[in-house]
Amino acid sequence: MRIPLPPSWPGAATVAPEDLAQIQAEFSHAYAELVQQAQGGQLTPPADRRFRADPWKANPFALFSAHLWLLSGQALNRMVDAAQVSEALRNRLRFSVMQWLEATAPTNFILTNPEVQQAIVESGGQSLARGLQNLLEDMAKGRMSQTDERNFELGRNLAATPGAVIYQNALMQVIQYAPLTDQVHARPLVIIPPCINKYYILDLQPENSFVRHAVQQGHTVFLVSWRNPLPTDTDASDRATWAQYLDDGVLQALRVASNVTRQPQVNALGFCVGGTLLASALALAHGRGERPAASLTLLTTLLDFSDTGVLDVFIDELHVQAREQQLAAGGLMSARELATTFSFLRPGELVWNYVVNNYLKGQTPPAFDLLYWNSDGTNLPGPFFTWYLRNTYLENRLCRPGQVQVAGVGLDLTSLDMPAYVYASREDHIVPWKSAYASCGLLAGPRRFVMGASGHIAGVVNPPAKNRRSYWAVPGDLAPGEQAMAADAWLDSATETAGSWWPDWYEWLQQHAGRMRKAPARLGNTRHEPLEAAPGSYVRVRAL
């Protein structure tokens, strides 16, 4: 298993002698106390949830190992905090120390994990045999199993909202969903999901499908299903560019929805990278004098890449140049490498937890729709990926009017003056909520900002029926031209509401959805006839 490390791995980082002496003294004192407690039989399980099970309490050696590991981690992190380096380098050191600590946790080894030892004894060694079988199966798949994938099937219990593919090209398919109400709003909703993952994160099972809930609110929903390019493709899909994704992807989908519904404008929604693509495409359209969207919804989206959170540790000039040399002329950024990188942002939960349970304990992971989706990644065309990497994460040029040229048009996100709904998740480690909030300082029209509890995915996929989590908002929206307050000031003035943020968005979107009219009896039209039933064929292609 390859643990990703930040680029430009640092050389020696110095710590002031007096700081180092204090850290060493504190470690020695704490270690001596730990030994004394162990000798007296006074060790109790630490607060870390990994060591709460009864076998840890009954095994003094394992309990001592757990405490020593935690103590060593504290000392290492103290040294990082005291290192005389730039803050950027300090963040890289923190990330690398975190990777090292998670990899060396005593839970990860048979000798120091009493739960694993107990499972081996109680099963007569069968747990290890099952674990070895799980490992061999995962090696054959080329990825670690995070859920029991046998329980899910696209079109049956995932991505099962009724609809049809009514358009496709080399980049994407457009799905139109069948109405679930007698009447629908005249203006359609077009959803642009991220191309870095499959779209059905927004159409999981019926009870937590964002798409289905939008259709149930009387919206005619169209959605882009991005193609998953493969190394075996022979149509130059590995050379697709950012400009093609904007014109032949996003804007073409908006055109299809407008044509089918006979509406000059649509309501457009973008999620994560899909939101970045959508905003860029609308800026391109505005630069050409076109106005295809009446409203804009951005979910956990970066437009200003000044602060990209933990992903900053992977970005520097040398890393981007290396990627450009590798991929800028063609080739694929593999789904496997992307998935590994994102998993190691939270290695304790998304990597080592499965090493222990699947391989050491021989367990089958439980069925979980979100993790099935997480394992179904997509490849990205090299030119698209390298353009995105340099112009957003490295140089942050997209948010500067005219700094980015697409098809001869300078993109200006400040030209986006339609009503906008901007959502962020408070514990998002991929799109920090303050960075998502920064979009309110770019967009020029009326803006409503809402922050939900939880993280990048769970915060978004939060159906009202479950009455889980909460969200924060302030009364009223920002008026056109009104300056957004600082993020911390916004949070201080925001009110927390229990439950899902979806109803708040429904209420906002209804204002821009147009009059009600009879639901269409058929999907598509004479120009865009149904090609196949949803979820379509593009989403079924798995990365090699």
pLDDT digits (tens), the chain, 544 positions? 444 545 544 455 688 999 999 999 999 999 999 999 999 999 999 999 999 999 999 999 999 999 999 999 999 999 999 999 988 889 999 999 999 999 999 999 999 999 999 999 999 999 999 999 999 999 998 889 999 999 999 999 999 999 999 999 999 999 999 999 999 999 999 999 999 999 999 999 999 999 999 999 999 999 999 999 999 999 999 999 999 999 999 999 999 999 999 999 999 999 999 999 999 999 999 999 999 999 999 999 999 999 998 899 989 999 999 999 999 999 999 999 999 999 999 999 999 999 999 999 999 999 999 999 999 999 999 999 999 999 999 999 999 999 999 999 999 999 999 999 999 999 999 999 999 999 999 999 999 999 999 999 999 999 999 999 999 999 999 999 899 999 999 999 999 999 999 999 999 999 999 999 999 999 999 999 999 999 999 999 999 7
Q: Measuring CA to CA, which residue among 12, 8, 9 is closest to residue 83?
A: 12
210 within 8 A of 202, measured Cβ to Cβ: yes
Whole-model pTM: value is 0.93
Among left, alpha and beta (phi > 0; psi -120 to 50; other), residue 350 is: alpha
Retrieve residue 461's tokens: 């996929």
The pLDDT of residue 1 is 46
CATH of 163-334+379-540, one of 3.40.50.1100, 3.40.50.10800, 3.40.50.1820, 3.40.50.970: 3.40.50.1820
Tell me the C-alpha distance between 411 and 247, whole Å.
Answer: 13
| Closest to 211 measured CA to CA, from 227, 197, 194, 199 | 199
DSSP string, 497-516: EES-SHHHHHHHHHTTS--E
Secondary structure class of 429 (helix, strand, coil): coil
**What's the token pair of residue 372?**
């099935």
* Phi/psi-derived region of residue 356, left when phi > 0, alpha when psi is between -120 and 50, beta in every other case: alpha
CA distances from 512 to 6, 225, 507, 543 (A): 44, 24, 10, 38
Nearest to 334 by CA among 302, 378, 388: 378
DSSP 124: T
Rounded Cα–Cα distance for residues 295 and 224 (Å):
17
Q: At what angle do helices 60-82 and 87-103 cross, to 10 degrees?
A: 170
E strands in 332-490:
332-333, 380-381, 405-406, 409-410, 420-425, 447-452, 470-473
Q: Which two tokens stand for residue 254?
A: 């908006």
Place of tokens 């998304």: 350
As annotated, the residues of the chain forming the CATH 3.40.50.1820 domain(s) are 163-334+379-540
Q: Tokens for 292, please give them.
A: 């295809």
**How many Å apart are CA 50 and CA 113, to the nearest integer?**
10
Q: Do 28 and 74 meet the contact criterion of CB atoms below 8 Å apart?
A: no
pLDDT, position 4: 54
Structure confidence at residue 523 (pLDDT): 98
- What is the spatial distance between Cα 132 and Cα 149, in angstroms, rounded to a whole number? 18
In the numeric block, the tokens 């020029």 are attached to: 444
Phi first, then psi: give them for residue 252, nearest 5 degrees. Answer: -65, -40
* DSSP structural state of residue 476: S
Count Cα neighbours of 4 within 13 Å in the Cβ-side half-sphere.
Answer: 21
Hey, is 267 helix, strand or coil?
strand
Structure tokens at 344: 């190691």
CA–CA distance, 175 with 183 (Å, rounded to integer): 20
Query: At a CB cut-off of 8 Å and minimum separation 6, what does 381 contact?
Result: 229, 237, 238, 239, 240, 241, 330, 332, 333
How far, CA to CA in Å, does 410 sit from each of 287, 400, 444, 488?
7, 10, 17, 32
Cβ neighbours of residue 451 closer than 8 Å, sequence gap 6 or more = 423, 424, 425, 426, 433, 437, 471, 472, 473, 491, 494
Residue of 95, 97, 67 lying closest to 79 (CA atoms) = 97
Whether 45 and 51 have beta carbons less than 8 Å apart is answered as: yes
Catalytic positions, written as ranges: 272
Structure tokens at 243: 């400009």
The whole-number pLDDT of residue 518 equals 98
Which of 138, 372, 385 lies closest to 245, judged by CA? 385
Look at residue 143 in the predicted model and tell me its pLDDT: 87
